[in-house]
Structure 1
Amino acid sequence: MALKEVKIFKDTTLLGKYRLCSIIGTGRTGVVYLAEHISLGEYRAVKVISKHTADHRQAYQEAMILKKLRHPGIPIIYDVEEDVTNYYLIEEYLEGKSLYHIVNTEGPLSMAMIVSVGIQICRLVDYLHSAKPNPILYLDLQPKNLLLCRDIVKMVDFGQAIFLNEVSSIEKRYGTVGYAAPEQYLDEDLDERTDIYAVGELLRFLRGREDEKCFSGSKKGGDLTAIIKRCREEKREKRYQSVKELLEQLELLEHLLNLQTACGRQKITLPSLTIAVAGLSPGAGATHFSIGFAQYLTILGYPCIYEERNSSGAIMEMAEYLGCQPDSAGIVRVCGCDLRPEYGDWVKFKEPEGLWRVYDYGQDWKSAGDSCCDAVVLVAGGKWWNIKEAEKGADNIKESPGWYLVCSQATGRCRLRLSVKGAKKRCLKAPYFADPFHLNSDAADFYKALFTSITGLPKGRGRGVLRYLKGKVGAFTEKLQR
């Protein structure tokens, strides 16, 4: 029986306790369903493997491997069941999107994110390779098998994983084209370096395979390109000889990037703040501004969530269009930005701590003002015919130091008459930018000015600090090149 003949339908009750909700993945040997444990009210991932498939015994191999593993990046296996036709692996359900989905819908990851993800993948693989008494080879590292759950990498589908001392007993070899090492297609021994090859292909996929020259960390090749090239060497003796060696190089590169960032944009630790946003008229651009500001804070390295506090339904409409599902906290992730739709007062979620928050009140600027947020931003139209509206907003911020006025998509003819001392510094013109999820340089400069004004950060930085940081950059660059 072929895989497609495993017929289990939505709302089927499985094994008397699991209600199947939807298909969340398919593979060579089975179908993975999202299922609800009826008694506990918790979700599980149920992998269904037909006994008629040629490699159905791999289900037990996968179960034997998973039951020995305890790592936050690897799903827990709760149970293994079977009936006349199928085996069932009951596993922890992990909320997140695959790296394949993220790159194909949102584009290549940033340099910092690629290195962070690469480090997490290496730590997972090193955990498998260091398993006692028998190391484990994963043998199917590819972007569909790695989930990003709120920036944490999770590894799923251990269908090809095998104990190192059992490699010689493999009757059939499988591998994902474009990620499997050359030796997986040949009658050659497999070892830890086989997984290292796949790590290189993964890193190459995350940055966009068509761009072989991007993301140089140094001028002499001690960069991500050189790391990927060494992982992907056809001859295993030329690759990194252990994942620990590869991990060390990625961690050095991460330190280098952090120091380079500090030289150009010294990050200062700040307490999380809440910003309320409201438009002064329909179409002023409050939602566009709010999403852009949340995305800017996220890019800057401050964990942030945008919350819809109006009845427009824009975020849920966006999620439905992109096929995004809210997680257990009601949050939808779009292009790396966390968004929470308006659910109503009767829906309560466990609130994550330490986040910056941008509340979008739509046109209800009075509620925004009464919200007790750290800052209130009023958004007005920025065209010359919006002058009266903008000046009305300026009047509202005169006696409120924590209030700001933003003229959206402002033109040069938008000139405000401000009579109160200090109010002018809290009135900003926002340039036109088409996509709040992908900020251009003008948008980034605008948000930087607003961020600096709200937080009160100084614009300059000491020359002595810069000299020290640049010296560190040089030291790490030399170490990478060695």
Structure 2
Amino acid sequence: MSYFLSDRYETQDVLYETSHTRVVLVRALDTGDLHVIKGIRKDPTTPEHFFLEASLLQDLSHPGIPILLETEEDESYFYIVEEYIYGDSLDQYLLYHQNISQDTFLQFAMQLCEIIRYLHTHDPYPILHLDLKPDHIIVCGNQLKLIDFGNAKILTSSGNDFQNFGTKKYAAPEQKHGGAVDQRTDIYGLGKIFSYMLLFLPMQKRLRFLGLVTRMLRYDKGRRIADISRVQDHLQRVWQKNKKEKKNKKHLLNRIAVVGSESGVGATHVAVALVCYLNRAGFYAYYRNETEAPTLERMLQYNMACIGQDGMIYHEFFRGYLDDGPALAKGEPPYGIQVIDCGCRTDVTAGATIYVCSGRVWQRQEKVLAENMILVGNHFSRQEAGQYARVQKKRMYLFPWQKNPFHTTLAVQRLFSKMIERELLCEKKKQADA
């Protein structure tokens, strides 16, 4: 590391290294924040785009674009110090999840449009990214980050003919064939990303976006959508229509408690799995921990999740609310369905309580359950479950075995679907439906 930088940063890890380039993860000595230092060796073959990326990022300020902290050099290297972006690439995220909800698609698509709009309306000249692809988009909590501006160009008033930039699979025809590029070139690349994301949506949901994507991907640039704001308008209309459809759906109770008959019966597992299922199904739900166990803090400690500015932590379809986060400072909890992990304590304010009990003899509790309690059994045989349900005069849901609560199996999804339909609808809505 440069002498000028070693007095301010401590090396944590070497992320990437070649004969010409070195990328290092560092920690700032004054703040403790993590940053990335990109170093490139000084010689006649030093790529021009390295310097262009540095000069571009210096002028950009957007939550979806990495922050350039400083540039430096010594006798052997040029250095760029950037914000460290934690998360998975969009490609990794999609392949890992295999399917996403329409809400997730819209949130991702609208964030990407906003980043591209910022670049295309940059003053005094528009900036073209020219290498849009899923690998260059990082899912960082609830914020997408667009990275790698090595191929970006400033579009001056005189116009430019840039050739052979971008990745072949996502590059627009004019990039491949040496034509002039403009904002429509980025719109083509964004359309390719959208078409890839649509593969992970249910078939019936894809139809709403196929017309838009087709217009973004027209081979003839003159017939392609020319302004990113038109893409944003289309997505906003679908978003509003989606909100109206949700209003007509049956509403879930907004506070659901999960209580264990005693410690160790799996109440936290059930609570986490329910949050993941609800978010995956298109409902906004979040987990609140009212036990003494530091569940969410441990997730952060072991890098299982990342924290957003809203005081929530994010991991795949899971969302958890930190009671000491910014959301609490605002004086009100976030909007959405609260799934409260109560441990062994009851919550009288909950609209419904999921009571988790164990079929193991040493963990059984003979207790009369309240009317609003939903009985969930862990480690019960069907015969034992039937006997216990008759004693309690309640329906019992047998929770299927699953190794990871964040990855809801089909059996768990079917269980929660039945539970929602039978038990977790708002009473007001039930009466309206009767």
Shorter chain as denominator, the TM-score bin is: 0.7 to 0.9
SS of residue matched to 2:160: helix
What code does the residue aligned with 1:445 have?
Answer: S
Instruction: State whether residues 286 and 360 of structure 1, in contact with CA within 8 Å, keep that contact through their aligned partners in structure 2.
Output: yes
Instruction: Describe the shift of the 1:133–1:325 C-alpha distance in structure 2 as closer, same or farther (beyond 3 A).
Output: same
What code does the residue aligned with 2:356 have?
Answer: V
- The answer on 1:438 being equivalent to 2:408 is yes
SS of residue matched to 1:59: helix
Deviation at 1:131, TM superposition (A): 1.1
- The answer on 1:225 being equivalent to 2:210 is yes
Deviation at 1:315, TM superposition (A): 11
Deviation at 1:79, TM superposition (A): 0.8
Structure 1: stretches of 5+ with no match in the other structure: 1-7, 342-347, 464-482
2:203 counterpart residue number: 214
Deviation at 1:333, TM superposition (A): 4.3
- The answer on 1:289 being equivalent to 2:278 is no
Q: Paired residue for 1:168, among 131, 152, 160?
A: 160
Instruction: Describe the shift of the 1:152–1:317 C-alpha distance in structure 2 as closer, same or farther (beyond 3 A).
Output: closer
Q: Paired residue for 2:231, among 202, 226, 246?
A: 246
- The answer on 1:369 being equivalent to 2:369 is no
Instruction: State whether residues 38 and 80 of structure 2, in contact with CA within 8 Å, keep that contact through their aligned partners in structure 1.
Output: yes
Instruction: Describe the shift of the 1:312–1:130 C-alpha distance in structure 2 as closer, same or farther (beyond 3 A).
Output: closer
Query: Equivalents in 2 of 1:381, 1:370: separation in Å?
Result: 17
What code does the residue aligned with 1:459 have?
Answer: K
| Cα deviation 1:282-334 (Å, max 9, x = unaligned) | 6x4434412221213434433413659688999979997xxx55435898744
Query: Equivalents in 2 of 1:161, 1:37: separation in Å?
Result: 28
Deviation at 1:28, TM superposition (A): 13
Instruction: State whether residues 312 and 325 of structure 2, in contact with CA within 8 Å, keep that contact through their aligned partners in structure 1.
Output: no
Query: Equivalents in 1 of 2:42, 2:110: separation in Å?
Result: 37
Instruction: Describe the shift of the 1:31–1:258 C-alpha distance in structure 2 as closer, same or farther (beyond 3 A).
Output: farther
Instruction: State whether residues 215 and 224 of structure 1, in contact with CA within 8 Å, keep that contact through their aligned partners in structure 2.
Output: no
Instruction: Describe the shift of the 1:446–1:86 C-alpha distance in structure 2 as closer, same or farther (beyond 3 A).
Output: farther
Query: Equivalents in 2 of 1:29, 1:246: separation in Å?
Result: 40
Give runs of aligned pairs for residues 77-88 of structure 1, distance below 5 A: 77-88=68-79
1:459 counterpart residue number: 430
Q: TM-score, length-normalised on structure 2?
A: 0.78
| Cα deviation 1:10-33 (Å, max 9, x = unaligned) | xx9944211222355789995543
Query: Equivalents in 2 of 1:68, 1:317: separation in Å?
Result: 35
2:92 counterpart residue number: 101
Give runs of aligned pairs for residues 147-166 of structure 1, distance below 5 A: 147-165=138-156
Q: Paired residue for 1:406, among 376, 398, 404?
A: 376
| Cα deviation 1:151-171 (Å, max 9, x = unaligned) | 22222222211101286375x
- The answer on 1:380 being equivalent to 2:357 is yes
Deviates further, 56-65 or 441-450: 441-450
Give runs of aligned pairs for residues 39-438 of structure 1, distance below 5 A: 39-52=30-43, 54-165=45-156, 168=160, 170=162, 173-208=164-199, 214-216=203-205, 223-263=208-248, 265-267=249-251, 270=254, 273=255, 275-278=257-260, 280=262, 284-299=265-280, 300-305=282-287, 325-327=304-306, 333-338=314-319, 350=325, 352-353=327-328, 354-355=333-334, 358=339, 368-369=344-345, 374=350, 377-381=354-358, 392=365, 394-395=367-368, 397-398=369-370, 404-408=374-378, 413=383, 414-415=385-386, 424=393, 428-430=396-398, 432=400, 434=402, 436=405, 437-438=407-408
Query: Equivalents in 2 of 1:388, 1:449: separation in Å?
Result: 33
Instruction: Describe the shift of the 1:268–1:318 C-alpha distance in structure 2 as closer, same or farther (beyond 3 A).
Output: closer
Instruction: Describe the shift of the 1:13–1:409 C-alpha distance in structure 2 as closer, same or farther (beyond 3 A).
Output: farther
Deviation at 1:188, TM superposition (A): 0.5
SS of residue matched to 1:458: helix
Instruction: State whether residues 279 and 318 of structure 2, in contact with CA within 8 Å, keep that contact through their aligned partners in structure 1.
Output: yes
What code does the residue aligned with 2:209 have?
Answer: L
Instruction: Describe the shift of the 1:315–1:39 C-alpha distance in structure 2 as closer, same or farther (beyond 3 A).
Output: closer
Query: Equivalents in 1 of 2:271, 2:320: separation in Å?
Result: 10
Instruction: Describe the shift of the 1:105–1:52 C-alpha distance in structure 2 as closer, same or farther (beyond 3 A).
Output: farther
What code does the residue aligned with 2:376 have?
Answer: V
Deviation at 1:256, TM superposition (A): 2.5
| Cα deviation 1:334-381 (Å, max 9, x = unaligned) | 43213699xxxxxx96464435665657xxx5xx31788847643124
SS of residue matched to 1:226: helix
Query: Equivalents in 1 of 2:172, 2:271: separation in Å?
Result: 45
1:478 counterpart residue number: none
What code does the residue aligned with 2:345 have?
Answer: G
Instruction: Describe the shift of the 1:279–1:205 C-alpha distance in structure 2 as closer, same or farther (beyond 3 A).
Output: farther
Q: TM-score, length-normalised on structure 1?
A: 0.71
Query: Equivalents in 1 of 2:65, 2:137: separation in Å?
Result: 10
Instruction: State whether residues 80 and 89 of structure 1, in contact with CA within 8 Å, keep that contact through their aligned partners in structure 2.
Output: yes
What code does the residue aligned with 2:166 have?
Answer: G
Instruction: State whether residues 75 and 156 of structure 1, in contact with CA within 8 Å, keep that contact through their aligned partners in structure 2.
Output: yes
Instruction: Describe the shift of the 1:117–1:334 C-alpha distance in structure 2 as closer, same or farther (beyond 3 A).
Output: same
Alignment root-mean-square deviation, CA: 4.3
Instruction: Describe the shift of the 1:459–1:306 C-alpha distance in structure 2 as closer, same or farther (beyond 3 A).
Output: same
Instruction: State whether residues 30 and 48 of structure 1, in contact with CA within 8 Å, keep that contact through their aligned partners in structure 2.
Output: yes
Deviation at 1:134, TM superposition (A): 0.3
Query: Equivalents in 2 of 1:27, 1:95: separation in Å?
Result: 22
| Cα deviation 1:192-246 (Å, max 9, x = unaligned) | 111111111111222337x8x924466xxxx212222222222212221211111
| Cα deviation 1:238-294 (Å, max 9, x = unaligned) | 22121111111122222223333333x255795xx4735335476x44344122212
Query: What is the count of residue pairs matched by the alignment?
Result: 418
Instruction: State whether residues 290 and 359 of structure 1, in contact with CA within 8 Å, keep that contact through their aligned partners in structure 2.
Output: yes
